[in-house]
Structure 1
C-alpha cells in the first residue's frame, strides 16, 4: 500500500473565491467547495441540479504531463488509481485542476461505494469512473472566479472521448421534481448549484445536497459486539424472506440508537440467541463495511422486526446508509419481504 503524501494547500477556506491571478502552474491544492444538506432541493432559474455520486471526492491536478489525484483533505492518492491517472493523461491540456468524484461502478452501471473502497484497498478488477463536475484552472488561467455555467462550458469538451472519465451533466428546472425522479431510479440524491456563482472553497450554501431515503421492515437476525466507546451492541444484522422462504442477509445497521435503546435491544436479543446462523446463505465476505467475524457475531431466532430507513440497495444486495427507526411489533417476521 503506497504511503499517502499531503500536498501543500495554497487556496484555503474563505468567503470569497480565489483571486484572479495568472500562474504558469496550477495550485498545489484547492480546498473543495462543500455542500449544505437539505431535505428538499431548491428550485428557480439560478439553480442547476447534478446527480449526487457515491464515491470519493477527488481533485485532479495536471501539469506538464504529470497527474495527481488529491483527496478532499489534500492527500495524494495517485498511486492507488493508476487507471484513472492514465485516463487523465489523455486530456489535451498543458495544465488543469479538476474537481470531481471517483466511483467504483457496479454491474448495474451505477456508482457503488463498496467497490470504490475495494479499489482503494488494492483490489484490481474494479471498474472506476472519474465523474468531473468542475474546472478551476486551465492552461495557465485560473477559472474559479468565473460563474459555474462558464466553468462547466469549458470543462465539457475536454472530457469528450476520454474512457474512464465522464462529465457530470446538470439540468435546470424544478429541483424537487428532479430529486424525486432520481430517487425513483435508485440514485443517492442530487446536488443543486447556483449557476452564476464562483467556486468558493469551504463554503456551504451555494451547493445544496438533498438525498433519497427509503424505509421498510427487516428481520433482526443477529448483532455484533460493540467497539470502542460503544455500549451494549455494535450493530444489528438484518434480513428478509425471499419467495422460496429462505432468510436472506440484507446488511447491518449501526446508527439511530441512543445508549438506552442499545441496552434495551440487547435485553430483547439475548434470550433469542442461537448457536447457528439462521440465514439460507452466509453473508458476503466482501462488500460494504467490514466482514463479519465469528468471535464478535451473535445470531438470533428471526423473531424481532425493525423498521429501517436507508438510501438504496447496493449491487451486492446489501443496504446502503441504513438508520434504525424502531421495532415493529405489529408485523410478523414471516411476512417481511424485500420491497421494491
Structure 2
C-alpha cells in the first residue's frame, strides 16, 4: 500500500493540475504516481516504523523509469523549499517528520502547504445564498476569473454589502447569464488571495476592497 500523488507534467517537467483533470479521462498514459510513503508490503504493516525507514524500503521496491516514481527528498529548510516551489508556480509542498510513524487522520507529523498569490481584480458580481458562504465574482482585464469567498470582518463585510447595493443592477456579462448572482456596475476593486499557478481562481478569498479611482 503506497501513499503518493498522481500528477501530469508540463513541458517544463512541472506538475500541471489542469492537465491532470483532462488526462484522467482522455490521456491516462500521461499519468504518473509520485510515491512518498509505504504503509504495507507483502502482508507486513510498516506504519509503526519511522518514515525514513519506510521510505528506504519504498525506494528499493519501485522500478526505475515506470509510471510510479519515487519522490526524492529536497535539501534545505522547509521555508526555502516552500519559497522555491512557489516561485516555480507549483501548488505547494508536502512535508513529513523523518522519525514519525504513519497515523491516519489529522496530525502535525505531516503537512501540505499550498502556495498563494494576491492580485487586484474587479468585483463584477456577488453570490449570497441562504446556507452557503458569500462570494464575490471577479474579473481581470475583462476576463472572468471565478469566485472568491468573503472572509472579511463583520464591519468590513457590511461596508462591502453597502457598496454592492449601490452598484447592483448590471446586466450579466457575456456567457454568465445562467449564474445565480447579483451583477454589479463597474468601479469596485478587490484584492484576492488565491492558489498560485491557476488560470482561474481556486481556494480564493477576498482580503480587501475599494472604489476604483
Contact 1:239 1:248 in 2 (8 A): yes
1:110 aligns with 2:15: yes
* TM-score between both structures, scaled by the size of structure 2: 0.80
Deviation at 1:238, TM superposition (A): 0.7
Name the CA shift for 1:193/1:274 in 2 (closer, same or farther; >3 Å). Answer: same
* Structure 2 residue ranges without an equivalent (≥5): none
Identify which of 145, 166, 173 aligns with 2:48: 145
Correspondence for 1:265:
160
Question: Which structure would you say has the larger RCO, counting Cα contacts within 8 Å and 6 or more residues apart?
Answer: 1
Aligned to 1:43: none
CA distance in 2 between counterparts of 1:214 and 1:205 reads 24
CA, structure 1 residues 203+219, in 2 after alignment: closer, same or farther (shift >3 Å)? Answer: closer
Give unmatched runs, 5+ long, in structure 1: 1-96, 242-246, 283-291, 333-340
Specify the alignment match of 1:326 in structure 2.
208
Q: CA deviation at 1:324?
A: 1.0
| Contact kept? 2:10, 2:16, Cα under 8 Å | no
1:313 maps to which residue? Answer: 197
Q: Are the counterparts in 2 of residues 115 and 126 from structure 1 also a CA contact under 8 Å?
A: no
Contact 2:51 2:100 in 1 (8 A): yes
User: Structure 1 segments of 4 or more deviating over 3 A?
Assistant: 105-109, 113-116, 126-129, 208-211, 257-264
Tell me the equivalent position of 1:237.
137
1:255·1:322 contact (CA, 8 Å) conserved in 2? no
The CA RMSD measured in Å over matched residues stands at 2.9
The offset of 1:189, in angstroms, is 2.2
Q: Paired residue for 1:180? A: 83
Please, which moves more after superposition, 221-230 or 258-267?
Answer: 258-267
TM-score (norm 1): 0.53
Which residue matches 2:35?
A: 132
- Are the structure 2 counterparts of residues 229 and 328 from structure 1 closer, same or farther at C-alpha, using a change threshold of 3 Å? closer
Residue-by-residue CA offset, 1:92-120 (whole Å, 9 max, x unaligned): xxxxx1112345x475652427954x78x
Aligned CA distance change for structure 1 residues 174 and 269 (closer, same or farther; 3 Å) = same
Q: Secondary structure at the match of 1:226?
A: coil
Higher alpha-carbon deviation: 195-204 or 146-155? 195-204
